[in-house]
Amino acid sequence: MTSTGDERAAMTRAFELARRGPEHDPNPRVGCVLLRPGPAASTAGPTTVGEGWHRGAGTPHAEVAALADAAARGEDTCGVTAVVTLEPCSHTGRTGPCTDALLAAGVARVVVAVRDPNPVAAGGVEILRAAGVEVVTDVLADEGRALLGAWLPAVGADRPFVTLKTATTLDGRVAATDGSSRWITSSVARRHAHELRAQVDAIVVGTGTALRDDPTLTARTADGTLAGAQPLRVVVGHRDVPRDARLRGPGGPLVQVRTHDPAHVLRELAARDVRRVLVEGGPTLAAAFLRAGLVDEVHAYVAPVLLGAGPSAVGDLGITSIAAAVRLEPVSVLPLGPDVLVVATPVREV
């Protein structure tokens, strides 16, 4: 069973609807379009009778929102096709199962982009098929996975998705020997880094960075004002954050995790529904996450600057031979003014 051209067009519309949902939410962004097939004897294509998207945790899921939209339009949903970007859920959480809502509405066909990797919510496809509903999966699946972003690997790994960010000279230094580091990269690269901060749920640094640099760890717009959504500001380590630290100023909530264990940090953040983490702070913390195998992606901002000495971006990894090096696979290279951003993923041993 395959999808039609009209259904693929509706899926593209569902992606657009899904992007209206919040980026910083424990739930995925999902969109849904309800199509009524054209009359059998007519060449007319299907018509849209309802649209919806998920507006955040605790609100109706996209399918239920689309059904409500159809009801508000005075449309009968019996026999319609539901085109949805993520497999309809089959469990009761803050809201009821979407499979129940679709079946009660008389939906005859469901077209899905991505199967749900969450074992708690998955199984909707099987439930719908068992009830006699036609189901087509993996329709524009690549686009669907791109829409889900870090939520997808985070659910699959049962922990937040971790991006390690570095900003270095061409010879890998993060500061000069006197400790000065402002500014290694250009204003163009720094603006891009703030855009990255605005996309994550939490920024993590060690106590060394918090005490030495007194950072704000905020996401800012191009004009320097605070972005609308601010990530958690997380400090890892046992030393206290000073009362007058800028981390206690305007921005996201401050969270201190008194441990040196990256896995413990991620468990704490997962309990707070954090899906995407940006590790920014210090060679020691970067090395700890890399040694633990808990880095999913590296964003390396590199400036055409040479220092020849000073701390490096990553501390001791315990590697003594080139054969044991942490290998990365480049994903993209982006020029940013005079600088370059290299995005790469660690090569996992199989």
Alpha carbon dihedral 45, 50, 51, 56, in 10-degree steps, equals: -160
The sheet carrying 276-279 orders its strands as 254-257, 232-236, 202-206, 276-279, 161-169, 297-303, 339-346, 328-336
DSSP 240: P
Q: Of 105, 102, 145, 93, which Cα lies nearest the Cα of 127?
A: 102
Q: Of 71, 74, 57, 55, which Cα lies nearest the Cα of 104?
A: 71
- From start to end of the chain, where are the E strands? 31-36, 47-53, 81-86, 109-114, 134-136, 161-169, 202-206, 232-236, 254-257, 276-279, 297-303, 328-336, 339-346
- The CB density around residue 122, as the number of other CB atoms within 10 Å, is 16
Q: Of 47, 46, 54, 45, which Cα lies nearest the Cα of 14?
A: 54
| CA angle (189, 29, 8) in 5-degree steps | 105
Strand 109-114, strand 161-169: pairing = unpaired
Sole residue written with tokens 């026999």 = 79
Q: Identify the bridge partners of residue 35 per DSSP, sorted by sequence position.
A: 48, 81
Cα–Cα distance measured from residue 19 to residue 15, given in angstroms and rounded to the nearest whole number: 6
Q: Identify the bridge partners of residue 104 per DSSP, sorted by sequence position.
A: none
DSSP 232: E
Catalytic residue among 7, 51, 63, 280: 63
- Is 63 a residue of the active site? yes
Cα–Cα distance measured from residue 258 to residue 242, given in angstroms and rounded to the nearest whole number: 15
Active-site positions read 63
